[in-house]
Homo-oligomer: A and B are copies of this chain.
Amino acid sequence: MTTDRKAAEREARQKLILQGALTVFKEKGLEGAKIDEIARVSGFGKATLYYYFSSKEEIFNALLLHGWLQLWRELEETIEGGDSPRRTFISMLKKIAEVVNADRPLYEFLFFVPRSYSSEEIEKAEWKQYQTRLYRVLLELIEAGIEKNQFPQMNPDLVLKALGGLFHGLVFWGKDNQIVSEDLIEEMLDNMLKSN
């Protein structure tokens, strides 16, 4: 069967397009990114893009879905690990940082951009559920951890906001290049959660 190779080639070309799209999206945002430029950067003609994707928004969503699937794949084993809530929580953030640092352009895009474009279309996108699921898992860990006195005795939602924001700030803020190691994240979290 040639069908396998054909499918693989098709997928490879899609990946090339997504790669080009990412660099343009990152630089210009969703609306600022022009199809013509994405085509130019990925090295295809404009019409060819539409041979592989049916619209600009589909490219956008495919990119995010790709990132979330990859992130989630890496997280699953950590979640199943059966550590204490606090250890699992910290391990998850470390793992996320690791994944992020392995492909910053993609994940900066993934964690920043969607906040700015909350059209109804996007609300229903497939990748959205993974975002929601991640939030829920982290929240449940905090709830369980509070019971065991491993987190500050406060409203779990607040604790998640605070620690999530802290993580976000550590990993994503600042002049590009300087990435924060997973160990530093662990140290910071342990430091700040110490007294409880």
Give the interface SS of chain A, mostly helix, strand, loop or mixed: helix
Q: Known contacts being A116-B29, A154-B188, A195-B194, is A166 close to B174, with CB within 8 Å?
A: no
User: In the complex the two chains form, what is the Cα distance from A158 to B163 in whole Å?
Assistant: 14
Among A191, A194, A196, the one with the most B-chain Cβ atoms within 10 Å of its Cβ is A191
Q: Which of A26-51 contact B (CB under 8 A)?
A: 29, 31-32
Copy total for this chain: 2
For the complex with contacts A29-B116, A162-B192, 18 further pairs of A-B residues with Cβ separation under 8 Å are A29-B117, A31-B31, A32-B117, A32-B119, A112-B116, A154-B188, A154-B191, A157-B174, A158-B170, A158-B180, A158-B184, A158-B188, A161-B173, A162-B166, A162-B169, A165-B169, A165-B173, A168-B169
